[in-house]
Amino acid sequence: MTRLFFVTGTDTEIGKTTTTAALTHWAAGQGLRAAGLKPVAAGQEQVDGHWVNEDVLALHAAQRAGLTLEQVGPIQLKTPCAPHLAARLEGTAIRREAVLAAVRAPLAQLDLAFVEGVGGWRVPLDEQAGWDSADFARELAAPVVLVVGLRLGCINHALLTAEAIAARGLTLAGWVGNTVDAGMLQHADNLATLKALLPAPCLGAVPRLQHPTPSAVAACLDAELLKKVLLTP
Q: Which residues are catalytic?
A: 38
Instruction: Lay out the sheet containing 172-179: strands in order across.
Output: 34-37, 112-116, 3-9, 144-150, 172-179, 202-206
- CA–CA separation, 205 and 203 (whole Å): 7
Strands (DSSP E) along 100-167, which ranges?
Answer: 112-116, 124-126, 131-132, 144-150
Q: Which of 17, 29, 21 is nearest to 214 (CA)?
A: 21
Q: Which of 113, 109, 111, 131 is nearest to 122 (CA)?
A: 131
Cα separations in angstroms, 223 against 23, 64, 98, 201: 10, 19, 35, 12
Q: Which of 81, 83, 103, 101 is nearest to 93 (CA)?
A: 83
Q: Which of 27, 18, 4 is nearest to 59 (CA)?
A: 18
- CA–CA separation, 73 and 60 (whole Å): 8
- Element (DSSP H or E) covering residue 199: none
Under DSSP, the state recorded for 107 is: G
- CA–CA separation, 26 and 28 (whole Å): 5
